[in-house]
């Protein structure tokens, strides 16, 4: 039998679902990552967007971020929307405006056309959908290339560059690595 979720204790619920302190920690890490990437962009002398996960300096940005903030080396930047704050806000405002305009039109006509509302919502979320597909394809290709690269490299012990006190290699683009 499935237990009634309303009867679960707070402790049991916290084991099943994210809690507010979890979301607070997610936000804290996201802000740390954004700060680290801003610092990496400044170090490299490039625009912030170019060091994000699909930017032209993404690999160099990632390396600079890891060296400056080693505590974040195991954190993922994927899905954070770094460098897209204005674009996302603009799309959100356009979406909400279009949907509420369609709702108002339907209210004035005394109708309820869910399909028309869905078409409006879909049209105004198309840019975000296309970007999500672009990111998914890019991440897939990056992961495949990383897997192939790992197969080609012999298993040898590695040392972090900052431990050797050597300058980082000049890599302008992650694709140059491949």
Tell me the average pLDDT of the chain: 80
Higher pLDDT, 64 or 77: 64
Distance CA 132, CA 145 (A): 20
Distance CA 54, CA 62 (A): 11
* Maximum separation of any 2 CA atoms in the chain, in Å: 72
Q: CA angle, corner 53, sides to 51 and 59, nearest 5?
A: 60
Q: What percent of the chain has pLDDT over 70?
A: 84
> For residue 82, which of 112, 38, 116, 43 has the smallest C-alpha distance?
38
Asked whether the predicted pLDDT for residue 168 surpasses 80, the reply is no
Q: What percent of the chain has pLDDT over 90?
A: 22
Asked whether the predicted pLDDT for residue 84 surpasses 70, the reply is yes
* End-to-end Cα spacing for the chain: 53
Residue 131 CB neighbour total at 10 angstroms: 16
Distance CA 56, CA 96 (A): 32
Distance CA 74, CA 13 (A): 28
> Which parts of 17-160 fold into alpha helices (H)?
20-44, 58-68, 85-109, 114-152
pLDDT digit string, tens, across residues 111-133 = 999 999 999 999 989 888 888 89
Distance CA 61, CA 31 (A): 16
pLDDT of residue 9: 87
pLDDT mean over 42-54: 84
pLDDT of residue 93: 93
């Amino acid at each position: 039998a499935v237990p009634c979720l309303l009867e679960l204790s707070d402790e049991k619920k916290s084991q099943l679902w994210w809690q507010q302190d979890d979301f607070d920690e997610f936000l804290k890490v996201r802000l740390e990552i954004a700060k680290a990437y801003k610092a990496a962009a400044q170090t490299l002398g490039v625009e912030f967007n170019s060091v994000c996960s699909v930017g032209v300096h993404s690999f160099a940005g990632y390396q600079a971020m890891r060296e400056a903030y080693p505590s974040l080396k195991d954190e993922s930047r994927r899905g954070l929307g770094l460098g897209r704050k204005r674009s996302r806000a603009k799309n959100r405002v356009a979406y909400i405006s279009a949907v509420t305009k369609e709702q108002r039109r339907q209210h004035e006509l005394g109708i309820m056309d869910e399909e028309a509302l869905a078409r409006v919502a879909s049209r105004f979320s198309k840019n975000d959908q296309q970007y999500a597909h672009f990111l998914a394809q890019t991440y897939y290709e990056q992961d495949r290339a990383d897997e192939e690269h790992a197969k080609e490299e012999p298993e040898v012990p590695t040392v972090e560059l900052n431990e050797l006190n050597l300058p980082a290699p000049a890599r302008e683009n992650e694709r140059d690595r491949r």
